[in-house]
Amino acid sequence: MRQPVDLRAAINAVSDVVQNRPRPIRNFDQIYMKSGDMVVQSEIVADWADGKRLAFIGDGDAISVCVAYLRVKGILDFGPSQITVFDFDERQVNAVLRFADLMGMGELLTAQLYNCLDPFPAHDKFDCFYTNPPWGASNGGDSVNVFVERGMEAIGGIGDGVVVIADDDTLAWPKEVLANVQRFASDRNFYVSKMQRKLHEYHLDDAPDLKSCNLFLSSLPSAQPLAEPSVGTPPERMAHFYGSRKAPTVHYVRAKPRPDYGMASDEEYTLEMLETNS
């Protein structure tokens, strides 16, 4: 019997993670989930991946850190046995490593710099994968499928995955993307084992009501382990990766040194001093 979750403690823990998280870069579709939904999502992921080796293919939201932190703090008494984040943004990688070191989670949580357009570094190191990729409004879901393919490679073609993508009944493109992602998964011997609809909200100025779902994928019983090595993403799948005619041109986002993510940068403000009588 799992212990009930202390909601206040969970929200406060997630706020610690949010404080550590770098600011999003909108050009790369880094759009962050709202904090309340991060709490819910972290519990869902921890339960789904309990006792398993979990790979995050990108993680701007820092759900990986939330899952690990809630477990280490005893707010959740379940969760993955090992978490690795693969992200092309060095700021995100550094934020994961910094927080893991600060909170004594280094054996549970780690991260490495990786761009999903490159071949995946190794097969079959993980039992399951999680990804919240660019949602593919301008490419029919091709950008989603690149991340999904890397997740499938991370688990060697056998296991489970969670894909977070747009879910809106009033728009046509999310339906097309969902259909294409499900088709892509089916062609690779995966099926949709569960779907949690309209679950998350985001800090998204131009579409504040747009939500996303959890699409759970599982390998078929007849699926075979991947035999071929991972290969890079061909150019034709990248033409509209970040929007209409916005192909990737950046390999890595490199971090500039800054003193403390929990403190305001001195580039954000100026000081107007009190007048003194002399």
**Measured distance CA(93)–CA(76) in Å, rounded:** 24
Task: Give the model's pLDDT for residue 206.
Answer: 79
Task: Give the model's pLDDT for residue 127.
Answer: 97
- Which residue numbers in the chain have pLDDT < 50? none
Under 8 Å between Cβ of 251 and 228 = no
Task: Give the model's pLDDT for residue 139.
Answer: 87
Report H helices in the chain: 7-20, 35-48, 63-72, 90-102, 142-154, 173-187
Task: Give the model's pLDDT for residue 243.
Answer: 64
| Residue-range domain boundaries for the chain | 7-237
Give the tens place of pLDDT for each residue, 44-63. Answer: 999 999 999 999 999 999 99
Per-position b or e across 65-77, b if 16+ CB within 10 A of its CB: bbbbbbbbbebbe
In single-letter form, the type of residue at position 236 comes to E
DSSP category for residue 202: B
Edge-first strand listing for the sheet containing 160-166: 109-113, 82-87, 53-57, 128-131, 160-166, 212-219, 190-200
Q: Does domain 7-237 have CATH number 3.40.50.1970?
A: no
**C-alpha closest to that of 228 among 120, 127, 137:** 120
Residue 246 parent element (H or E): none
Give the tens place of pLDDT for each residue, 80-123. Answer: 999 999 999 999 999 999 999 999 999 999 999 999 999 999 76
Q: What is the pTM of this model?
A: 0.91
Task: Give the model's pLDDT for residue 113.
Answer: 97
Strands (E), 52-135: 53-57, 82-87, 109-113, 128-131
Task: Give the model's pLDDT for residue 278.
Answer: 60
Question: Which residue is it, tokens 């035999």?
Answer: 227
Paired with 194 in beta bridges are: 216
